[in-house]
Amino acid sequence: MKCPYCNNSDTKVIDSRPVEDGLAIRRRRECEKCKKRFTTFEKIENSLLVVVKNDGRRESFDRNKLINGLLKACEKTKITYEDVEKIAERIERALNNTMEKEIESKMIGALIMDELRNLDQVAYVRFASVYHKFTDVNTFVQEVNRLQEKDRVRPEERNEEK
Ligand SMILES: [Zn+2]
């Protein structure tokens, strides 16, 4: 980072603090040469993230795509657009926090599942059915069974049906 006063390239960081909920960093720097101080603002660039799809193809991470996928899953549920944006933000932050430049699409799917599981069962199952179509059918069946188990009537009631 060059000094804006004397153009010297040796500057040292004297303070750095996360801003915008950890999505950006503000740094206070001092020029080694003229000793003047200045502030820099570093923001995470989304295009740094590359998503590796199941077939091995790579594409840059696209937040809108994530939001659209979420909206589709959350259609006609109690989940609002605002919720969806928040989920997308959390997922993006989690991805950035991994410090990996390449993210497997599987991992994004798993993060979405975690978010939806706690929020809305309909959206969760809907997303899971689309998501697992491209990964693993068995896992999806297990998940649905697990959900049904939770809703299932108590054992003594079931016995009466026999
Ligand atoms: Zn300077």
pLDDT in tens, 37-94: 999 887 765 557 888 988 889 988 888 888 888 888 888 888 888 899 899 989 988 8
Residue 152 Cα to ligand 1 middle (Å): 70
Distance (Å, whole) CA 2 – CA 59:
32
Considering the chain, what percentage of its residues have pLDDT values greater than 70? 78
**The pLDDT of residue 30:** 95
Question: Are residue 19 and residue 97 in the same domain, yes or no?
Answer: no
8 Å CB contact between 83 and 126: no
One domain for residues 80 and 136: yes
The total domain count for the chain is 2
The confidence score (pLDDT) of residue 31 equals 95
CA of 121 to the centre of ligand 1 (A): 58
Residue 67 sits in the same domain as residue 28: no
- Coil vs helix vs strand at 27: strand
Q: Phi, psi at residue 81, to the nearest 5°?
A: -60, -35
Residue 157 or residue 34, greater confidence: 34
Per-residue confidence band for 133, with pLDDT thresholds at 50, 70 and 90: low
Same domain, 39 and 75: no
Give 27 Cα–ligand 1 centroid separation in angstroms: 16
Provide the percentage of residues in the chain whose pLDDT is more than 90. 18
Distance of CA 143 from the midpoint of ligand 1 (Å): 60
Say which DSSP state 46 is in: G
Q: Are 34 and 23 found together in one domain?
A: yes
- Cα(15) to centroid(ligand 1), Å: 17
Distance 14 CA to ligand 1 centre (A): 14
pLDDT score for 45: 58
Range of the domain at 26: 11-43
Assigned domain for 61 exists:
yes
Whether residue 26 contacts residue 17, with contact meaning beta carbons closer than 8 Å, is answered with yes
* C-alpha of residue 124 to centroid of ligand 1, in Å: 55
Q: In this structure, is residue 130 part of a structural domain? A: yes
Average of per-residue pLDDT values in the chain:
80
Q: What is the structure's pLDDT at 47?
A: 53
The rounded Å distance from CA 2 to ligand 1 centre is: 8
